[in-house]
Amino acid sequence: MTLSTTVITLIVSFILTVILAPIVIPYLRRMKFGQSIREEGPQSHQVKAGTPTMGGLIFLTSIIISTLALSLYFDKLTTQSIVLLVILVGFGVIGFLDDFIKVVLKRNLGLTSIQKLIGQIIIAIIAYFLLKQGPFDTNIVIPFTEMELQLGQLYIAFLIFWLVGFSNAVNLTDGLDGLVAGTATVAFAAFGVLALAYEQSDIAIFTFCVSGALLGFLLFNKYPAKVFMGDTGSLALGGALAMVSILVKHELLLLIVGIIFVIETLSVILQVISFKTTGKRIFKMSPIHHHFELSGWNERKIVTVFWAIGFIAAMIVVCLEVL
């Protein structure tokens, strides 16, 4: 896969998203698929009430169409491509159901945690057995070393944990305009570069389709957002990103490339543990982006700083692994 092919992939998915967004957003508005804002959240977010959500449908559609079209055109449609699309669609459906219940049926909690977990596990297991149809390495490479961990049959437990964990991590991060769209664009692009370096063109096509689609979505999702991706988009992106790291066989590098998602998740875990054990909170509010909001940072500053951290982390990984 050449540089020109990569650029074409980015452009195709970007343009498709830019075309779809003005069509879908008014429809979401007419259907009254508006975001409800938690009363316990930052008061500055109350003005966002009613902004169309479930916008993940826009870039998911773009990713699916562009990945299939370009994979077929370049003769790169493989089992791994199909697995990535299965994860993207499967986790997207779970997110869509969660959004639909909350927004349309007006049940604020949406799917229960158990319902979402069961759905995510089932999809992860399906993906695992699809991968097992061909040669599939169950080793985990220790980043920047020659060491490997051989998990064997235990790899399925790791795969489930990885997909569910990062799907929910990206979902937790989706709390500010453009935050996930920007950080996920960088993360997918970083793994796309790794896929190119390891001559995994099928995976590279998918990752750059995602990055292109998210860049197009960012035009409408940046502050002040005209549309939110909702759980439809965030759960799908998290699951797909985790699966990309698995297929590139550098799973643990996702802890660095996706450092923002890791930090956001850790902030929630630490907050819960601290409050339950001591009755005190570490942060003013979790996830941590809300802590910075309540500390006086404006939304655009937080998003820009988090984007920068994600970009630097991704560049470090790419430089150390490829150069």
Please check the confidence at residue 226 and state whether its pLDDT lies above 60: yes
Check the annotation: does 137 bind a ligand.
Answer: no
Percentage with pLDDT > 70 across the chain: 96
Find residue 139's DSSP bridge partners: 150
- To the nearest whole number, what is the mean pLDDT of the chain? 93
258-283 pLDDT, tens digit each: 999 999 999 999 999 999 999 999 99
pLDDT band at 237 (very low <50, low <70, confident <90, very high): very high
pLDDT of the residue at 195 = 96
Question: What is the residue-wise DSSP string for 148-200?
Answer: EEE-GGGHHHHHHHHHHHHHHHHHHHTTSTTHHHHHHHHHHHHHHHHHHHTT-
- The mean pLDDT of 28-46, rounded to a whole number, is 70
Separation between Cα atoms, residue 268 and residue 279, nearest integer Å: 15
Percentage with pLDDT > 90 across the chain: 85
Of 136-140, 200-204, 242-246, which range is least confident? 136-140
Tell me phi and psi for residue 150, to 5 degrees. Answer: -95, 110
Contacts for 219 with CB less than 8 Å, ≥ 6 apart: 18, 21
Check the annotation: does 231 bind a ligand.
Answer: yes
pLDDT of the residue at 2 = 79
Of 5-9, 29-33, 282-286, 288-292, which range is least confident? 29-33
Please check the confidence at residue 39 and state whether its pLDDT lies above 60: no
Quickly list H helices, 31-78. Answer: 56-73
pLDDT of the residue at 30 = 87
Angle at 218 between CA 216 and CA 224, to 5 degrees: 140
Please check the confidence at residue 215 and state whether its pLDDT lies above 80: yes
- The mean pLDDT of 203-230, rounded to a whole number, is 97
